[in-house]
């Protein structure tokens, strides 16, 4: 069974540009989460989808970040326009149930110059 996959693995963009990150959860997992780790800090929660609905987006830093999960399968996280402080590793995770173990993808390393 394939794990959580994320694309791209790395992205280097200039300040002001737009970047879209993609996450494909484990097949059949209704719950999809986005987390972020900025340099040297803890991994922090961004938001949670149940199928295509946003259950909790309390961790989203600001309105430059837009997450979608059309059709309840893969999810995208768009940053527009990107700022320097958005640099970090963006992780996606999925779980079969709300309290089930979250399985993480390899992350997307974003560098904003």
Partner 1 sequence: AQKITQTQPGMFVQEKEAVTLDCTYDTSDPSYGLFWYKQPSSGEMIFLIYQGSYDQQNATEGRYSLNFQKARKSANLVISASQLGDSAMYFCAMREGSTSGTYKYIFGTGTRLKVLA
- CA angle, 30 as apex, 8 and 2 as ends, to 5°? 50
Which of 19-27, 68-76, 78-86, 91-99 is the region at the interface with partner 1 (rule: CB under 8 A)? Answer: 91-99
DSSP helix/strand/coil, 70? helix
Binding status of residue 87 toward partner 1 by CB under 8 A: no
For residue 50, state whether it binds partner 1 (rule: CB under 8 A): yes
Under the criterion CB under 8 A, does residue 34 sit at the interface with partner 1? no
d(CA 97, CA 76) in angstroms, rounded, equals 21
- Asked if residue 68 lies in contact with residue 60, where contact means CB atoms within 8 angstroms, the answer is no
Q: Give burial (CB, 10 Å; 0-12/13-18/19+) of 99.
A: exposed
Asked if 7 is part of the footprint of partner 1 (rule: CB under 8 A), the reply reads no
Q: What mask of x and - would describe binding to partner 1 in positions 51 to 80, judged by CB under 8 A?
A: ----xx-xx---------------------
CA–CA dist 38, 73 (Å, integer)? 26
Minimum CB separation of residue 17 from partner 1 in Å reads: 23
- Give 15 or 54: the residue with its C-beta nearer to partner 1: 54
CB of 75 to partner 1, least distance (A): 15
């Amino acid at each position: 069974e394939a794990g959580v996959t994320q694309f791209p693995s790395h992205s280097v963009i200039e300040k002001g540009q737009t970047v879209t990150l993609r996450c494909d959860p484990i097949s059949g997992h209704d719950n999809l989460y986005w987390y972020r780790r900025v340099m040297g800090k803890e991994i922090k929660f961004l938001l949670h989808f149940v199928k295509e609905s946003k259950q909790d987006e309390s961790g989203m830093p600001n309105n430059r970040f837009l997450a979608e999960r059309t059709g309840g399968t893969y999810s995208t996280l768009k940053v527009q326009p990107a700022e320097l402080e958005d640099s970090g590793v963006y992780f996606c995770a999925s779980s079969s149930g709300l309290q089930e173990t979250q399985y993480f993808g390899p992350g997307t390393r974003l560098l904003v110059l």
